[in-house]
Amino acid sequence: MDLGNRHVVVTGGGSGVGAETAQALARVGARVTIMGRRAAALRDQGLPWQVCDVTDPPAVAAAFAAARDAQGPIHVVVANAGAAESVPFAKLRPEQLAATLAVNLAGVVHCWQAALADMRAAGWGRLIAIASTAGLKGYPYVAAYCAAKHGVVGLTRALALELAETGITVNAICPGFTETPLLERSLAEIVQKTGRSEADARAALLAANPQRRFLQPDEIAGAVLWLCSDAARSVNGHALSMSGGEI
């Protein structure tokens, strides 16, 4: 694959899936800009970076403008930034719901809008959201997160049709539990709230995957590379489950 003439922005690029995806794209020649809220984590990746809170539209516009000035028009956006909080639905506070929707759904909208004009001008583009199996099914105690990720899948399907004749494809990747810092935080929260051991918490999450293993970030990065390739040019409006057969 040759992405040498393509500028790719990856949000949530300081760790986990975002960092792995950014490095994979750089290895095949893309000009990569990573974005996130923590400068130190971004700096550690050794790639061009911009501090950006995806929930803040002016901040997104400024970060994308700076990335464009540094590396040229943007051809691919991998909207990976996200966050999850576990809370029983009856105790879900309005501010928790708003925060979850802001980062997981509105953040995708802001970032895709910030690059769309570049892609239209080029007649080519890839809008890719890292959603979740929570966008395809429900899980208890994360109703807000499931609602947000279902929203991302709906957004993907609608925008894919809107842009179908432009040379831009729009797709979502829906991983199951993946070995990342987000998973570690989820396990710690389970241990803290239930009193289970970490081993028991891991076993409970692994039970959802028929392969009985957590995904690795490089698997998701590989799916992103494929969606960026010409081999996937007819894949549009798709929500790709990566879950070992769970969905």
DSSP 95: H
Q: Based on the number of CB atoms within 10 Å of its own CB, is 227 exposed (0-12), middle (13-18) or buried (19 or more)? A: buried
- Separation of alpha carbons 55 and 83, rounded Å: 12
Closest CA to 60 of 114, 9, 99, 118: 114
Among 49, 64, 112, 145, which one carries the catalytic annotation?
145
Query: How far from each other are the two terminal CA atoms of the chain, in whole angstroms?
Result: 29
Residue with tokens 């928790």: 96
DSSP H helical ranges for the chain:
16-27, 39-43, 57-71, 94-101, 107-122, 143-162, 181-194, 198-206, 217-228
Instruction: Mark whether 145 is an active-site residue.
Output: yes
State the catalytic residues. Answer: 145
